[in-house]
Amino acid sequence: MMKRISLAATTLMATPAFAAGGDYAWYSLNDTNFVVLIAFLGFVGVLLYFGVPKLLAKMLDDRAEGIKSEIEEARALREEAQTILASFERKHKEVEGQVAGIIKHAKTEAEIAAEAAKADLKDSIARRLQAAVDQIASAEQAAVREVKDKAVTIAIAAAGEVIAANMPAKDAGALIDDAIVVVGDKLH
């Protein structure tokens, strides 16, 4: 409080009227500087009387405390966010590992399926090839049989002509009768 009064006195002495000297009184109510000084000192006195500086200091301290608590809360939120981020990064790495495992497993399964398909295709081709070979052999046997039957028919016809041309009718009749008996025995 003393510092404030000495500051006011120093300010009062440094006025231009005081510096000019002479018969002009620096404490006259006609001097506007003096009136302003008195009003200012009265205003400062009223402020001090009602404790405005303490109120201002308390308001500033409360504001500082509020800012401090907001900073602490922000720091706690930041730490929580960092913890959550680390958790998500760890989970992301785990998921990446799982995805890599799934892809590797899928590739292995695809390779196994491709090998099985190749084996099935080989088996199918082998069966079809064997069926074709069997059909060719069957067709060959049928052709051989048909050729033999045709050759037998032609040979019988040629033999019949040769026999008919060289054999007397009486021998031909006996031969026909023997053939009928042989055929009859074989059919029954």
Domain spans in the chain, listed from the N-terminal domain onward: 2-81, 113-170
Binned at pLDDT 50, 70 and 90, residue 155 comes out as confident
Confidence check: pLDDT of 89 > 80: yes
Confidence check: pLDDT of 58 > 70: yes
Task: Return the pLDDT at 185.
Answer: 75
Q: Which is higher by pLDDT, 41 or 7?
A: 41
Percent of the chain past pLDDT 90, that is, above it, reads 52
Confidence check: pLDDT of 6 > 60: no
Task: Return the pLDDT at 12.
Answer: 52
What is the mean pLDDT of the segment spanning 135-164?
80
Q: Which is higher by pLDDT, 133 or 160?
A: 133
Task: Return the pLDDT at 16.
Answer: 52
Mean pLDDT of the chain: 82
DSSP letters of the chain?
Answer: -HHHHHHHHHHHHTSHHHHH-TT--TT-TT-HHHHHHHHHHHHHHHHHHTTHHHHHHHHHHHHHHHHHHHHHHHHHHHHHHHHHHHHHHHHHHHHHHHHHHHHHHHHHHHHHHHHHHHHHHHHHHHHHHHHHHHHHHHHHHHHHHHHHHHHHHHHHHHHHHHHHHHS-HHHHHHHHHHHHHHHHHHH-
Question: Is residue 35 within 8 Å of 29, Cβ to Cβ?
Answer: yes
Q: Using CA atoms, how far apart are residues 123 and 166, in angstroms rounded to an integer? A: 63
Binned at pLDDT 50, 70 and 90, residue 10 comes out as low
Confidence check: pLDDT of 112 > 90: yes
Confidence check: pLDDT of 88 > 90: yes
Q: Which is higher by pLDDT, 27 or 96?
A: 96
